[in-house]
Amino acid sequence: MIEKLKQVIEEIKVLSINNADELEVFRIKYLSRKGIISDLFELFKSIPNDQKKETGKVMNELKQTAEIKYNELKVVFGDQQKEEKTATDISLPGEPIYLGSRHPIYIFQNKVLDVFRKLGFTIAEGPEIEDDWHNFSGLNFPDNHPARDMQDTFFINKDYSLRTHCTSVQVRIMENQSPPIRVVMPGRVYRNEAISARSHCFFHQIDGVYIDKNVSFADLKQTLYFFVKELFGEDYGIRFRPSYFPFTEPSAEMDIACIICKGTGCNVCKHTGWLEILGCGMIDPNVLQVNGINPDEYSGFAFGMGVERTTMMLYGIKDIRVLSQNDIRFLSQFSSQ
Ligand code: DAH
């Protein structure tokens, strides 16, 4: 038996193993439960007791020889295997980086803001959760005045609501700045309205305000003419209609020639040739007064426009809901903008 064991030891010593696969074959052949060494241990049990001591020594030598060889080579080939797995194949084509796209609402909003920037307006934002003062009372909506019914409001509690218009930011500007004031205020507003293809319970507005000495309705008109000219081109049809807002006096609504039919009449403009795009007016002296600006010294104009309707018209979008559904198939169409 000793001879046999020594023979196996020699065999193991000279065996050449060149990679992880060969090492695994080695392990199975010698060291596994059904391997050669295990078989020899079985055989060892049956040899006469007086031979056990000497044979046992050689048995152990065999086992150690196999284990040392295995462990040493495992370090070599194990690492090699790991390296192979983590190595970067620099010949692979790169992963494409997809560029995000700007939302059509913000494409249009940026265009509008750019026009007013040219006229020296700065940009301000305010909170979407607003108190009664900034959304209503500071804008000349008396308590229980029917004008409050003009806006279907989401109340959070008795004192706070989601703002129903960006005109609330105007109040914040007036209380924090002194004239001359020239600011545009973009943002999201909320109204308790049934959601359909044409209306939503949240949408975007851009308000603007200009307060200085001797500001007149002529300044308002000229500013809005410039705005329409920059956005839609020279000689674009425009008209003002008298209107009512609690915070402006006089108040007006401005229409532009229908973007679709250019004023000749179509379904979109209900065959009037006109589209209403904003409300405006001279800031009511009461509003200046309660917000700390002397109406005898200063006057101002203000305007507020909805963003969704004009954006929809510009891009031929038929349903307002797609603007807030985050459908990548819709949004990616604007990726070049
Ligand atoms: N806040 C008005 C609305 O939501 C729009 C508006 C009209 C804003 C006249 C103004 C303005 O600043 O002067 O319908």
The pLDDT tens digits for 291-335 are 999 999 999 999 999 999 899 988 889 899 999 999 999 998 887
Question: What's the whole-number mean pLDDT along residues 123-149?
Answer: 88
Check pocket membership of 208 for ligand 1, CB cut-off 6 A.
Answer: no
Using CA atoms of 80, 82, 88, 92 in order, give the dihedral in degrees to the nearest 10: 90
Check pocket membership of 65 for ligand 1, CB cut-off 6 A.
Answer: no
Query: Which of 17-26, 34-43, 137-146, 313-322 has the weakest average pLDDT?
Result: 137-146
**pLDDT attached to residue 316:** 86
Question: What's the whole-number mean pLDDT along residues 44-62?
Answer: 89
Check pocket membership of 302 for ligand 1, CB cut-off 6 A.
Answer: yes
Chain mean pLDDT for the chain: 90
Please give the model's pTM, rounded to 2 decimal places.
0.72
Check pocket membership of 306 for ligand 1, CB cut-off 6 A.
Answer: no
Going by alpha carbons, the residue nearest to atom 7 of ligand 1 is 279
CA atoms within 13 A of residue 208's CA, in its CB half-sphere? 26
Q: What pLDDT band is residue 150 in, cutting at 50, 70 and 90?
A: low
Question: What's the whole-number mean pLDDT along residues 80-102?
Answer: 78
pLDDT in tens, 202-225: 999 999 999 999 999 999 999 999
The percentage of residues in the chain with a pLDDT greater than 70, rounded to a whole number, is 95
Distance from residue 223's CA to the centre of ligand 1 (Å): 16
| Residues 128, 69: Cα–Cα separation, whole Å | 73
Contact between 190 and 201 under an 8 Å Cβ cutoff? The reply is yes
**pLDDT attached to residue 88:** 81
Does 281 have pLDDT greater than 70?
Answer: yes
Check pocket membership of 245 for ligand 1, CB cut-off 6 A.
Answer: yes
The percentage of residues in the chain with a pLDDT greater than 90, rounded to a whole number, is 57
Mutate to test the pocket of ligand 1, among 247, 283, 284 (most ligand atoms within 8 A of CB): 247
Mutate to test the pocket of ligand 1, among 188, 207, 309 (most ligand atoms within 8 A of CB): 207
**pLDDT attached to residue 337:** 55
Distance from residue 260's CA to the centre of ligand 1 (Å): 25
Q: What pLDDT band is residue 84 in, cutting at 50, 70 and 90?
A: low
Q: What pLDDT band is residue 44 in, cutting at 50, 70 and 90?
A: confident
* Domain residue extents for the chain: 2-86, 104-334
- Which class would CATH give 104-334? alpha beta
Q: What pLDDT band is residue 79 in, cutting at 50, 70 and 90?
A: low
Task: Write out the E strands in the chain.
Answer: 122-123, 129-131, 160-162, 181-190, 202-212, 238-245, 248-257, 274-283, 299-306
Closest CA to 170 of 309, 306, 290: 290
**pLDDT attached to residue 146:** 62
Q: Is 102 helix (H, G, I), strand (E, B) or coil?
A: coil
Taking the alpha carbons at both ends of the chain, their separation in whole angstroms is 86
**pLDDT attached to residue 144:** 78
Distance from residue 142's CA to the centre of ligand 1 (Å): 17
Going by alpha carbons, the residue nearest to atom 3 of ligand 1 is 165
Mutate to test the pocket of ligand 1, among 167, 172, 205, 310 (most ligand atoms within 8 A of CB): 167
**pLDDT attached to residue 82:** 63
Check pocket membership of 281 for ligand 1, CB cut-off 6 A.
Answer: yes
**pLDDT attached to residue 277:** 92
Distance from residue 170's CA to the centre of ligand 1 (Å): 10
Check pocket membership of 304 for ligand 1, CB cut-off 6 A.
Answer: yes
Count, residues in the chain? 337
Helix and strand element counts for the chain (H, E):
11, 9
Check pocket membership of 274 for ligand 1, CB cut-off 6 A.
Answer: no
**pLDDT attached to residue 125:** 97
At residue 129, what are phi and psi to the nearest 5 degrees?
-95, 120
**pLDDT attached to residue 81:** 62
pLDDT in tens, 253-270: 999 998 888 888 887 788
* Choice between 70 and 335, residue whose per-residue pLDDT is larger: 70
pLDDT in tens, 168-180: 999 999 999 999 9
| Residues 188, 166: Cα–Cα separation, whole Å | 8
**pLDDT attached to residue 213:** 97
